Amino acid sequence: MEKILRGMMETMNSVRPPRMTALRQLHDVENGRPFAILIGTILSARTKDENTTKVVRDLFLHYKTVDELASAKIRDVEKIIRSIGFYHVKAKRIIEVAKIIKSQYNGKVPEDMDKLITLPGVGRKTANCVLVYAFEKPAIPVDTHVHRISNRLGLVSTKTPEETELALMEKIPKKHWLEINDTFVMYGQNICKPVSPMCDVCKIKKLCKYYSTSAS
């Protein structure tokens, strides 16, 4: 696995140093603040990274704490986040999440998968993102990029992101889990794209099931 991760980074740096993912950028800007990462991850669903980054920044300029967002009016939040997809639903959800964290968890985001997935709009992918980017706990968030690349490489043979997560957890040593989402997402955005992947520049193509099949 280490050879794959290093090969991905070498490929990207040789072509063009990749920009940080939205979650990595959010982690750095917010100093790993769990509440900001949780809300940012909820808002990022079906939204481009650059748009997510801007909206989250604007949101936390207005609502700096859990208490402030819990007390916000839906229409005011909608005005701030209206450039992202499903902003009506997301505005309601993040206020609900803030209220639950305030009332049930003393204003602190839980560090536990089972508790995280009880929050409105939080599934396993979002919960895993919070564990990785907020708490640096070993987990494997699986989005479309991680799912696609894992199957292309032949690491797994799965139909859904949920299946991919479980398969990767069984196959990959835990010491690599923290790197997987960040590296695979950057690779999926820059090199191993959904259409016309850049196999010619890929430094791990000899390890790739997709390449060996398409090249033959």
d(CA 189, CA 127): 22
Give the CA distances from residue 86 to residues 51, 70, 163, 195, 215, in Å, rounded to whole numbers and listed in that order.
Answer: 13, 19, 26, 26, 41
List all residues 6 or more positions away from 208 whose beta carbon is below 8 Å from its beta carbon.
152, 153, 154, 199, 202
Identity of residue 129: C
The dihedral built from the CA positions of residue 185, 88, 28 and 129, taken in this order, carries a sign that is negative
- Residue 163: other Cβ atoms inside 10 A: 15
Sign of CA dihedral 190, 195, 196, 202: positive
Sign of torsion over alpha carbons 44, 48, 50, 51: negative
Distance CA 19, CA 2 (A): 21
- Is 202 assigned a ligand-binding role in the annotation? yes
| 208 appears as a binding residue in the annotation | yes
Q: Do the Cβ atoms of 136 and 181 come closer than 8 Å?
A: no
Binding-site members are: 192, 199, 202, 208
Binding-site members for [4Fe-4S] cluster are: 192, 199, 202, 208
